[in-house]
Structure 1
Amino acid sequence: MNTAIHSMSRVLFGVVGAALFVSSGAALAQSTDPILERIKAKGTITLGYRESSIPFSYLNDDRKPVGYAMDLCLKVTDAVKQRLQVPALKVDYIAVNPQNRIALVANGTVDLECGSTVNTLGRQAQVDFSAPHFISTTRLLVRKGADIKEVEDLNGKAVALPINTTPERLIKALIEAKKLKVRIVPVKDNSEGFLALSTGRVDAFSTDDILLSGLRKSAPVPLDYEVVGRPLSFDPYGLMLQKNSTVFLSLVNATIARSVRSGELNASYDKWFTPLDVPMSKDLAAALKLAALPE
């Protein structure tokens, strides 16, 4: 095993292992927790969704939140109904974005965030994450025919970066380290980033590659755009929830484990990612195997 693969394996094991240890071991010490108590008291579970994180969480033509992460959160909702014995549990939806998603989860406004949020050490100080349900990397979306293949090609050009995201910090650090002259255009979300690219305000938009593929697929003429560049990061996505709710976290991870073992999660992946021509990566397959704990 080469050094890069060994390093990736340790990171992946750490992410999954930490989530599963917290959710299984600590949960044994208590029978309920703040999130479940809040849900039961309200008779409602509140799910946070993204408006344009295709195919994880976005609004369809009927303005209804749908996507791969939304499907998984609805499976968690079914598990909560059984756990609390509240079959008529209501579901409320709250739109979140990169600027407010962590705060809304941390303060309890959102019970479970169903989007495309990367699990990082810094964020773990404020919120908890489920086991990974996707692995992404940072790349670039450009107009086809543009003379841009890598970050280094942005020298003298403009790039849109989503505020308060892992790609924003990464690309800024690379620009500084390589002493590139790049004009950075901050955007609030993916749709604004794509708008900046499609209208010529910027030469590239950088965020998670899978989100870029979703934006490209939804463009009026997808062939006008391409996702380029070497993988710049290793970013595990997790469902996000308030800290110190170990029973609820255990329930979320158990839902993921059972969905993997039953084949439901793979079917959901095929449903949402096949139209984007994105087969499941070896990294994600490994992550899901680790998450699929036996009963």
Structure 2
Amino acid sequence: MKKQITLISITLLFSIISQSPSWAGKVLERIKETGVITAGARKDAIPFGYINDKGQWVGYSLDMLELIRQQTEKQLGKPIKLQLVEVTPQNRFEKLKNGSIDLECGSTTFTWNREKEIDFSVSYFASGTQILTKKGSGLNEVESLAGKRIGVISETTNERVIKSQQSAAQLVTVKDRLDGLKKLEAGEIDGFASDGIVLEGLKKTTANANNLEIVPNYPYQYESYACTLPHDESQWRDLVNYSLIKFMEGIVTDEPNTVRIFDKWFGEDGEVPYSRETINSYFQGIVNTYEWIPILEY
């Protein structure tokens, strides 16, 4: 029940944020002129954005970017290419503000402070801060983090959550998620804090997966993933939101091609299995705050 209430709260939050007015349209005009969407993405966020064993940049968020590209192409009536740029927690918002990228879709979560600098799309996934640790570490309760070395990536909500939940934890800054895993396996830290769904993906990259666990059972704090966009670009934000809402509506109504995208990453045989029942409820709440898109649009 606690999990369901939290997800509903996040849904309502994003419905309010996404409907705030803005009037400029420079980004969409630039895309129409150049025929290119320049998008930021992560390379260390399995299954949202990463490099696979074939050297290809793949992930759930990359599929969302492709849907946005297709919708942009349809709306502008001309071929549109997608140009990917790697971003990090430290540079992703600056790249949006200085015009280096038109949007970023990775594993970025909403905060009110971030909203002061950039805009957010509707949410297209939800997760929350948990800890990857060695089995038997005893880090199952927030009290157990006191005095423990917990790896965090700087300027992330995970860092903030651990600080607020247990100020006595010894935070150790790591470069990225792979560095966090490396330091954990080497015994340099007692746990690595990140989003639970991404930790599940990270865990699969190591031969020592059976010796690792993700704690606690439920995140310390739930958060919503969304694409980030430049401030005051309502036309561009509306196009992005339309693309994401159409996808979520397809999941809720079991549209085969749409479900296939979700199942590739989160189905029973996907990269990181995730409950369809949970995500359907979450998506349903978001879709219900908008006008339903006619089935002929799929």
TM range (shorter): 0.7 to 0.9
Query: Which position in structure 1 is the counterpart of 2:222?
Result: 234
Does the 8 A contact of 1:49 with 1:96 survive in 2? Answer: yes
Give the root-mean-square deviation of aligned CA atoms: 2.1
Quote the Cα distance in structure 2 between the aligned partners of 1:6 and 1:68.
25
Does the 8 A contact of 2:120 with 2:229 survive in 1? Answer: yes
TM-score after normalising by structure 2? 0.87
Query: Would you say 1:52 and 2:39 are equivalent positions?
Result: no
Percent identical across equivalent pairs? 31
CA distances 1:143-191 after superposition (whole Å, capped 9, x unpaired): 1232322232223321101110011011012222xxx3x3221013211
Aligned partner (choices 9, 28, 33) of residue 36 of structure 1: 28
Query: Which position in structure 1 is the counterpart of 2:286?
Result: 291
Quote the Cα distance in structure 2 between the aligned partners of 1:206 and 1:150.
14
Query: Which position in structure 2 is the counterpart of 1:183?
Result: 170
Q: Cα–Cα, structure 1 residues 266 and 17, in superposed 2: closer, same or farther, change >3 Å?
A: farther
Query: Would you say 1:161 and 2:161 are equivalent positions?
Result: no
The letter for the 2-side match of 1:233 is Q
Quote the Cα distance in structure 1 between the aligned partners of 2:205 and 2:231.
35
Quote the Cα distance in structure 1 between the aligned partners of 2:33 and 2:110.
29
Q: Cα–Cα, structure 1 residues 10 and 145, in superposed 2: closer, same or farther, change >3 Å?
A: closer
The letter for the 1-side match of 2:219 is P
Q: Cα–Cα, structure 1 residues 210 and 281, in superposed 2: closer, same or farther, change >3 Å?
A: farther
Matches within 5 A, 1:140-289: 140-176=131-167, 180=168, 182-229=169-216, 230-262=218-250, 263=255, 264-274=257-267, 275=270, 276-280=272-276, 282=278, 284-289=279-284
Aligned partner (choices 93, 99, 103) of residue 108 of structure 1: 99
| Superposition deviation, residue 270 in structure 1 | 1.6
Aligned partner (choices 54, 75, 94) of residue 83 of structure 1: 75
Query: Which position in structure 2 is the counterpart of 1:119?
Result: 110
Quote the Cα distance in structure 2 between the aligned partners of 1:251 and 1:170.
32
The letter for the 2-side match of 1:149 is N
| Superposition deviation, residue 44 in structure 1 | 1.3
Q: Cα–Cα, structure 1 residues 175 and 245, in superposed 2: closer, same or farther, change >3 Å?
A: same
**Could you say what secondary structure the match of 2:204 adopts?**
helix
Aligned residue-pair number: 281
Quote the Cα distance in structure 1 between the aligned partners of 2:229 and 2:277.
26
The letter for the 2-side match of 1:91 is L
Quote the Cα distance in structure 1 between the aligned partners of 2:6 and 2:30.
40
Does the 8 A contact of 2:124 with 2:248 survive in 1? Answer: no
| Superposition deviation, residue 83 in structure 1 | 1.7
Tell me which moved more, 47-56 or 215-224: 215-224
CA distances 1:94-140 after superposition (whole Å, capped 9, x unpaired): 10011111111122211121200001111111111111111111111
Unaligned runs of 5+ in 2: 294-298
| Superposition deviation, residue 8 in structure 1 | 5.4
Does the 8 A contact of 2:42 with 2:88 survive in 1? Answer: yes
Quote the Cα distance in structure 2 between the aligned partners of 1:42 and 1:199.
47
**Could you say what secondary structure the match of 1:201 adopts?**
coil
Query: Which position in structure 1 is the counterpart of 2:296?
Result: none
